């Protein structure tokens, strides 16, 4: 079969346009998927007021993935230990110890804190801190890390 001059080029260009459009659609869908699964990594300020044997707590935040949580202490009057806890539900805010390790903090210290909140089936977390002495601490934290 003989094709009139130029028709083959037009068919080829139509195929190329379709391929480019499909590739762009795949890229847009991929970007949206990446955005949906990104962790909760924005920093939130915490202010702890320690009383012996009392747990000082950050605000409750959504835990979106199984990465470590992040805490940076900018200032403290006493050394303290902190760990990540799960929250049973936002309605009762019951703290659940899921076996996460504790970390010691002083001025300028940062830790990426391993935790088992998501692995234990929970979707919200906070960090609790304790000190044997009265005092204060402040800094920033996030429930997920990069």
Question: Tens digit of pLDDT for each residue in 70-96?
Answer: 999 999 999 999 999 999 988 888 999
Mean residue pLDDT of the chain comes to 87
pTM of the model as a whole: 0.74
Q: What is the pLDDT of residues 123-145, one digit of tens each?
A: 999 999 999 999 999 999 999 99
Q: Which two tokens stand for residue 44?
A: 């939130």
Cβ(117)–Cβ(17) under 8 Å? no
**Domain limits of the chain?**
1-37, 44-142
Query: What residues does 142 pair with on adjacent strands?
Result: 70
What radius of gyration, in Å, describes the C-alpha atoms of the chain? 25
16 pLDDT above the threshold of 60: yes
The fold of the 44-142 domain, in CATH, is Jelly Rolls (2.60.120)
The DSSP symbol for 133 reads S
CB 104 within 8 A of CB 48: no
């Amino acid at each position: 079969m003989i094709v009139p001059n130029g028709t083959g080029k037009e068919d080829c260009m139509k195929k190329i346009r379709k391929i480019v459009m499909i590739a762009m659609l795949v890229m847009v869908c991929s970007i949206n998927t990446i955005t949906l699964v990104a962790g909760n990594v924005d920093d939130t300020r915490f202010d702890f007021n320690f009383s012996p044997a009392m747990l000082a707590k950050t605000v409750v935040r959504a835990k979106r993935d199984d990465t470590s949580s992040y805490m940076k202490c900018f200032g403290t009057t006493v050394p303290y230990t902190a760990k990540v806890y799960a929250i049973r539900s936002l309605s009762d805010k019951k703290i659940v110890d899921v076996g996460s390790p504790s970390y010691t903090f002083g001025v300028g210290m940062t830790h990426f804190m391993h935790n088992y909140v998501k692995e234990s089936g929970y979707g919200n977390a906070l960090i609790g801190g304790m000190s044997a002495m009265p005092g204060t601490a402040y800094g920033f934290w996030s429930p997920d890390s990069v």
